Amino acid sequence: WVRKRRWIQHNPLEAVESLREPARARQMPTLEEVRRFVAHCPMRRQAFYWSAILLGLRNSELSRLRWDHLDLDKGEMRFDEGKVARVDVLPIVEPLLGILRQQHGVLGPASPAGVETSSSPSTLVFPKPPRYPVRRKDFEKVGLRRKDGGIHDFRRVLASVLPGLGCQPDTIRSILRKAPTDDTSARYMRIPFEVLKHGLTAYARAVFGNPAVCHECVTSGCETLHVVASCCEKDDPQGSGFPRKF
């Protein structure tokens, strides 16, 4: 500005080198690291972490998730408290669906009229979500530090893996519940529920490896839940390496 007004001929600061280092690319967990985290995830926090992994929920959204957002019979989530002001419908795929059903049953039966219990529709799914120090320790146990391991990083892994599974950009955007990039998409485009379910099921297969955990293992607290074992083979007589119920 001063030079434009010709008050000085040269800007003396142009010869000074910047001390600021260029921003480094943010690191995120690999798919193998996510698998390792799933395998060693503490049982009491499985539903919380797996909701982040298989639904792409942000930490703030997990803390606001209520039972009336979830239809465990249909296997879907209707969430209206995200960053975008709209109702998003996402499928809940196995094994997360089985774990949420188990947690809902453990919390208690439906409450009588006018009495709110821990599993009432208006109550939180995670009334006491793990705080940052607890989450940090959980990540560090599998060798993930905060810079390359956090709740939001699960969304980045989801967005990075889905293209390789055949998902189109609009499908990925819908799964991540991001705003449309243009007005036409916002007005007219609605990704079918089955397409979203196919993408998330394929992602769950990728995360849980081959084979995956069977529904009976999840709901019964099977000791081999985190170790792919023969107890999962009863759902997979063809030897495809993945339970048919998934």
Max CA-CA distance within the chain? 84
Per-residue pLDDT of the chain (246 residues; tens, 9 = 90+): 777 788 888 888 777 777 776 666 667 788 888 888 888 888 888 889 999 999 999 998 999 999 999 999 999 999 887 666 678 899 999 889 998 998 888 665 443 333 344 556 668 999 989 988 888 888 888 888 765 558 888 999 999 999 998 899 889 999 998 877 666 666 667 889 999 999 999 999 988 764 344 444 444 444 333 333 333 334 333 333 333 332
pTM, entire model = 0.69
The dihedral sign for the CA sequence 171, 92, 95, 48? positive
How many residues are listed for the chain in this entry?
246
Residue 163 has a pLDDT of 92
Residue 100 has a pLDDT of 92
Residue 184 has a pLDDT of 62
Q: Where are the beta strands (DSSP E) in 37-91?
A: 70-71, 76-79, 88-91
Q: Residue 197: which H helix or E strand, with range?
A: helix 193-208
Instruction: Determine the Cα–Cα distance for residues 28 and 218; give it in Å rounded to an integer.
Output: 28
Residue 147 has a pLDDT of 59
Amino acid identity of residue 18, one-letter, is S
In order of 41, 46, 65, 88, the CA distances from 84 in angstroms are 30, 27, 15, 9
Task: Copy the structure tokens of residue 52.
Answer: 């982040």
Residue 81: which of 97, 92, 69, 93 has the closest Cα?
A: 69
Residue 95: which of 199, 205, 174 has the closest Cα?
A: 205
47 contact partners, CB below 8 Å, separation of at least 6: 96, 99, 100, 103, 125, 126
Q: Where are the beta strands (DSSP E) in the chain?
A: 70-71, 76-79, 88-91
Residue 149 has a pLDDT of 59
Alpha-carbon Rg for the chain in angstroms? 22
Instruction: Determine the Cα–Cα distance for residues 149 and 38; give it in Å rounded to an integer.
Output: 13
Burial of 175: CB neighbours in 10 Å, binned 0-12, 13-18, 19+: buried
Q: Residue 173: which H helix or E strand, with range?
A: helix 169-176
Task: Copy the structure tokens of residue 163.
Answer: 């293209």
Residue 41 has a pLDDT of 81
Amino acid identity of residue 148, one-letter, is D
